[in-house]
Amino acid sequence: MRRQYTAEDREKFLGDLKATGLPVKELAERLGVSVSAAYSWVKRAQEPVATTPRFARVVTKSTIVVCVGAASIEVNPGFDPGLLRSVVEALGETT
């Protein structure tokens, strides 16, 4: 049966890897983590985090507030989605 690792297992492994400087395989074996899982965690940790906002179609009959960093944008029914996208992208570049 395949072992299920927790987020804490992954974070501990990645922290120990950084702290000790040991090779991935050696640390995985020491901690009893499967080598394939360890390499997968390292690979995912190295992937860049998407910072570009993703958009979905918003249908609302009331006002909503969109927060980007420290900015809050009040969005009323009938808003221009292209303008909102431009504003959010511009705000995202400053954070």
Are residues 24 and 17 in contact, defined by beta-carbon separation less than 8 angstroms? yes
Is 56's pLDDT higher than 90? no
The pLDDT of residue 60 is 67
The pLDDT of residue 37 is 94
How many domains, the chain? 2
64 SS3 class: strand
**CA–CA dist 33, 13 (Å, integer):** 8
Residue 49, both tokens: 């985090």
Is 69's pLDDT higher than 80? no
Residue 59, both tokens: 């249908």
Residues 40 and 70 in one domain: no
- For the question of whether the overall pTM of this predicted structure is more than 0.85, the answer is no
Asked, for residue 57, whether it belongs to a domain, the answer is: no
- 72: containing domain: 64-94
